[in-house]
Chain A
C-alpha cells in the first residue's frame, strides 16, 4: 500500500515537472496547476502500476548517460554511413535476449535503451519470461550476433546499476554466472525447453 502511494506520488511529481517545463517558468501558480492537472490525469487515466523498487545511484546514472550518448553518436554515424556509402545489401538477424531482472520497469527501460541505439529494434517481447526479441541491423556473421548479445546485457547491467535495488544488482551477477557457465549461445530458449 505504501509502495503504491509512493509510485503515484512519483508519477504526479514527474507530471508536475513536465507541466512546469511546458509553461517555461516556475511560480506557485504553475506548481499548483501542475499538481492539480497531474492528480486529475492520474485519477482519470489510471495506469497499471509500475513499481520502482530500487533507488537512484548517481555514479551509475552518470555512467549510463555517458555510455548512452557515445553509443547513440557512434551508431548513428555508422548507420548514416551504411545508408550513404554501403555497397552490399546489409544482412540482419532477430535474436532473443533474456534479461536477468524481470521487473516491468527494467524491461521497459532496457527496451527503450536498446532501441534508441541505432542498429537494434525491438520486434517483440515476452513479458512473462523477460525475453526481448531484437532485430539487429548490418550483421556479417555469428560473431556479431554473439557480441551484440553481450552489448544488450551490458546495457541491462548499466541500467540496473543506475536505478535498481540491491537485490536486483545481486541477481544480476548470480544469474550471469549461470548463463555464462552454460555457455548459452541462445540463453533462455535452451533451458526453457529442457525444463518443460
Chain B
C-alpha cells in the first residue's frame, strides 16, 4: 500500500516534469530568434521530457512487455533526435536561414571561405568512401 503510494508519487512527478519540459521546449520554439536557436529548443529539452514521461509510464505499467517497448522508444529517441537536429541545422545553415548577426564566432564560415583545394580533396575522398558525410553541393 505504502510502496504503491510512493511509486505513484514518483511516477506523477516524472510525468509532470516531462510535460513541463516539453512545454518549455514549445515556448522556446516560439521565442528563440532564429532557426538554429530554435532547433535547440525543438530537439533537446523534450528528449529529457520524453525520457521522464517514459519513466513515469514504466513505473505505472510495471510489466516486462511494456517496459521493453518503452526502453526501445527511449533508445530510438536518443539515437535519432541528434540526427534530425543535425539535418535541419545543416540545411538551414547552408541555405542561410539564420541570423548571422547573432553569432559571436562563425568558424564554419571561416573554414568554408578557405581556398577550394582542400574542399575538393575532401570531396574526392568522400566520393570514394561509401556514405561519405561531406558531399558538398557547391
Which A positions have Cβ atoms within 8 angstroms of B? 18, 20-22, 24-25, 47-48, 72-73, 75-77, 79-84, 86, 89-96, 111-112, 115-129, 131, 133, 135, 137, 139, 141-142, 145, 186, 189, 192-193, 196
Are A75 and B103 in contact, CB atoms less than 8 angstroms apart?
Answer: no
The winner among A18, A91, A96, A123 for most chain B CB atoms within 10 A is A123
Given contacts A24-B69, A79-B41, A127-B133, contact A72 B102 (CB under 8 A): no
Q: Is B57 an interface residue (CB 8 A)?
A: no
| Chain B residues bordering chain A, tally (CB within 8 A) | 59
Q: Is B110 an interface residue (CB 8 A)?
A: yes
Closest 10 CB pairs between A and B?
A83-B28, A24-B65, A118-B44, A80-B24, A115-B82, A96-B107, A76-B48, A48-B131, A21-B68, A133-B108
Residues from chain B with Cβ under 8 Å of A117 in the complex: 44
Are B107 and A89 in contact, CB atoms less than 8 angstroms apart?
Answer: no
Tell me the interface secondary structure of chain B in the complex.
Answer: helix
Residues from chain A with Cβ under 8 Å of B102 in the complex: 89-92
The winner among A18, A24, A118, A121 for most chain B CB atoms within 10 A is A121
Residues from chain B with Cβ under 8 Å of A118 in the complex: 40, 44-45
In the complex the two chains form, what is the Cα distance from A66 to B134 in whole Å?
Answer: 32
Are B28 and A112 in contact, CB atoms less than 8 angstroms apart?
Answer: no
In the complex the two chains form, what is the Cα distance from A122 to B93 in whole Å?
Answer: 11
Residues from chain B with Cβ under 8 Å of A79 in the complex: 24, 28, 40-41, 44-45
Pick from A115, A123, A133, A145: contact of B104, CB below 8 A: A145
A sample of 22 cross-chain residue pairs with beta-carbon separation below 8 angstroms, ordered by A number, consists of A79-B28, A83-B32, A93-B104, A94-B103, A96-B110, A111-B82, A111-B86, A115-B43, A115-B81, A115-B82, A116-B78, A116-B81, A121-B36, A123-B108, A124-B108, A135-B39, A135-B40, A135-B89, A137-B36, A139-B104, A186-B107, A196-B117
